[in-house]
Amino acid sequence: MTEYSAQMVLLGDPQMEGDHKANRGLDGRYNVWFNDNYFRHIVSNIDYYLAPSHVVVLGDLFSSQNLGDNEFNKRVGRYSSIFEPLRNHHTVLINVTGNHDIGYGNEASKRKITRFENAFGRVNDKWFIGGHIFAVFNSMVLDDTPIDTQVKDETWQFLRDLAEERKSSGIPIVLATHIPLFKNYTQHDLVSNPTEQQQPTINNTTTDESQPINNEMKESSSSLKITSTKNTKPTIVDHSNMKDSIPFHFNAMCIEPYIVHRSGDHIKEQTMLSQETTQFILDELQPEFIVNGHDHDGCIYRHNNKTVEYTIRSMMGGFGGYSALFEIHPNDEQATSFSYSYKICPFVETKYINISFGVSAAIIGLFLLFNLIRLLWYSSKQLYQYLNGKKYISIIILYFKSKKNINNNKKYNNININNNNIKKYNINNNKSSKKYD
């Protein structure tokens, strides 16, 4: 792998839980323990089989933005343990902040952001990766005014500086954030069963229409390949098999509408960035790609300026433990153009693991019960035979004792008879003596 290539694994929304779930008793503690090991197994497999250059976690690292410092630090420790296998190959871990990490809008205080940055790195940052500027930014504060306006100003200034750098250097940009960009879905896009929708086929063609590239389909090992030349927009090629490249996981992709919930004048929740913010990012930064999380279901969408947006399905067990592999490769030694590939990698839903645990436990339990019954039956049989053996011995002993007693009685009776005979003889003798006297 050269300096102009990269192999990234993208992870969405782990949302690690902690004391709130653990305090629910044994079931809650098991849930926390199970999810930690589930995530660690995913990360261990990523490290062992892929050894990527970078792993990017696209926000919502934790499950609550209102954690106390003590619980926050506990989860940081658990999080570090989960991603510890990446150190084997010196994989760079990049963490993006999400709404469950610092909150939306005015919830995203400077204190929360500083705490996050001390643990996971800056919320607005950039690297030179694979011949591209790879930048992360804090999308939680773009459409609202936080209590501390400095955090919003810093993010907007970061984006403006990034736009100037792209214009002056001509280096292509890949963006990573948490909240997806605005999408204006048509009724045709909002399908309840994505397997019934006709999939677009794009081969070396371009169009001015924004559209979802695909819905989430059945698992396949094929991938989406894109080529791009510096200072130009990417053209999607080799797309005829895209229908099979994205796993269908019982949820349609690219159907979540634009929703903003407010509390007074402030944003409480939003599914996408505003149209104005999205337009600034697309027009001024003109990223080749943008990757994000947040909606949990996932989406692949091509905007009208040809920027391709990958919304990564959540790595949580209830969503199948998904990850995505994004690769950058130069087409020549001078890196005047690049090829990209993107592949979705599902794991398995936790419910199936729990079912397998339950079935295995039931089989083991029945096996142990069967053998316990056999052991008890065998022991009782041996005990019965032992007791019967003692009974027979007792009967024999009693028999001989009784026989001995009978013999003794007979001897005693004979002695008595003899004694009686002697007595009778003496009496008769006495009588005879008196007669002759």
Q: What pLDDT, in 10s, does the model give residues 94-140?
A: 999 999 999 998 889 999 999 999 999 999 999 999 999 999 999 99
Rounded Cα distance, 153 and 4, in Å:
32
Q: What is the pLDDT of residue 431?
A: 54
Rounded Cα distance, 431 and 426, in Å:
8
Q: Categorize the per-residue pLDDT at 231 as very low, low, confident or very high, splitting at 50, 70 and 90.
A: very low
- 66-86: average pLDDT: 94
CB 180 within 8 A of CB 291: no
Look at residue 214 and tell me whether its pLDDT is greater than 90: no
Q: What is the pLDDT of residue 222?
A: 37
Encode pLDDT of 144-164 as tens digits. Answer: 877 788 999 999 999 999 999
> Whole-structure pTM over 0.85, yes or no?
no
Rounded Cα distance, 415 and 394, in Å:
31
Using CB atoms within 10 Å of the CB of residue 151, give its burial: 0 to 12 exposed, 13 to 18 middle, 19+ buried.
Answer: buried
For every residue of 86-141, DSSP letters joined together read: GGGGTPEEEEE--HHHH-SGGG--HHHHHHHHHHH--SSEEEEETTEEEEE--GGG
Q: At what angle do helices 110-120 and 149-169 cross, to 10 degrees?
A: 50
Nearest of 170, 88, 159, 78 to residue 126 by alpha carbon: 159
Encode pLDDT of 24-56 as tens digits. Answer: 778 788 888 988 999 999 999 999 989 999 999
Q: Which amino acid is located at 349 in the chain?
A: E
Look at residue 220 and tell me whether its pLDDT is greater than 50: no
Encode pLDDT of 245-270 as tens digits. Answer: 433 333 346 778 888 988 888 898 99
CB 106 within 8 A of CB 124: no
Name the average pLDDT for the chain: 78
CB 97 within 8 A of CB 86: no
- 289-298: average pLDDT: 94
Q: At what angle do helices 26-45 and 69-82 cross, to 10 degrees?
A: 40
Rounded Cα distance, 65 and 58, in Å:
15
